[in-house]
């Protein structure tokens, strides 16, 4: 009886030390991120990393979750995946064990919060600049066309103004006007 009890206790203590860890933490970099920027999600193990299990990562943005197989060869802890969030907001990224084919679920789960900030506003194109002695006449058109009207003593610039793709430079010395107009043949 003593032998059986000591054998049982010996096996129980050996099994306790042989118990593997599980999913320990989820880390997201960069955090906060910008909308449209790729983030790196790293899932690390707690304790001794399991060598054969399955897990699923939920992104909390309505996209499909990603399944990961830990098999000791291709999939190992820490597991890293890339994800791009299109919209600003606060997201909860969760990794949890899940049976995937022959891979039993990894033990445990972990969650990380990600803040995605709005994409920076597109820079407005610089307003057209009239040369010295000229003032803008009217508003800038949709294609970037504009007219500058010269005051008393205004002289046209030595170099023509730089115009956008859909426009071309013009000048009229008689009416003291110059600027960029819609290029002929382009609407």
- Stated pTM of the model: 0.56
Helix (H, G, I), strand (E, B) or coil at 65: coil
Q: Rounded to whole angstroms, how far apart are CA atoms 66 and 144?
A: 46
Q: Which of 22-36, 86-100, 166-180 has the lowest mean pLDDT?
A: 166-180
CATH class held by domain 21-117: mainly beta
Residue 77 burial (10 A CB sphere; 0-12, 13-18, 19+): buried
Q: Where in the chain is the domain with CATH 2.60.40.10?
A: 21-117
Cα angle 92, 38, 60 (rounded to 5 degrees) comes to 20
Element at 15 (helix H, strand E) = helix 2-18
Residue length, the chain?
Answer: 187
Strand partners, 27: 42
Question: How does pLDDT run across 31-57, given as a tens digit for each residue?
Answer: 999 999 999 999 999 988 888 999 999
Mean pLDDT of 91-101: 95
């Amino acid at each position: 009886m003593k032998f059986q009890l000591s054998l049982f206790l010996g096996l129980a203590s050996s099994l306790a030390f042989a118990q593997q860890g599980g999913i320990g933490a989820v880390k997201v970099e960069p955090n906060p991120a910008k909308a449209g920027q790729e983030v790196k999600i790293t899932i690390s193990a707690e304790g001794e990393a399991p060598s054969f299990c399955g897990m699923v990562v939920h992104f909390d943005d309505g996209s499909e979750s990603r399944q990961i197989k830990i098999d000791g060869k291709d999939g190992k802890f820490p597991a890293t995946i890339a994800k791009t969030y299109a919209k600003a907001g606060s997201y909860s990224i969760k990794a949890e064990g899940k049976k995937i084919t022959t891979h039993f679920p990894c033990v445990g789960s972990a969650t990380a919060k990600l803040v995605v900030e709005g994409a920076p506003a597109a820079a407005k194109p610089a307003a057209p600049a009239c040369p010295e002695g000229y003032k803008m006449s009217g508003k800038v058109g949709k294609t970037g066309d504009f007219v500058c009207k010269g005051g008393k003593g205004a002289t046209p610039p030595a170099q023509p103004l730089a115009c956008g793709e859909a426009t071309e430079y013009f000048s009229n010395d008689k009416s003291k006007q110059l600027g960029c107009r819609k290029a002929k043949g382009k609407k």
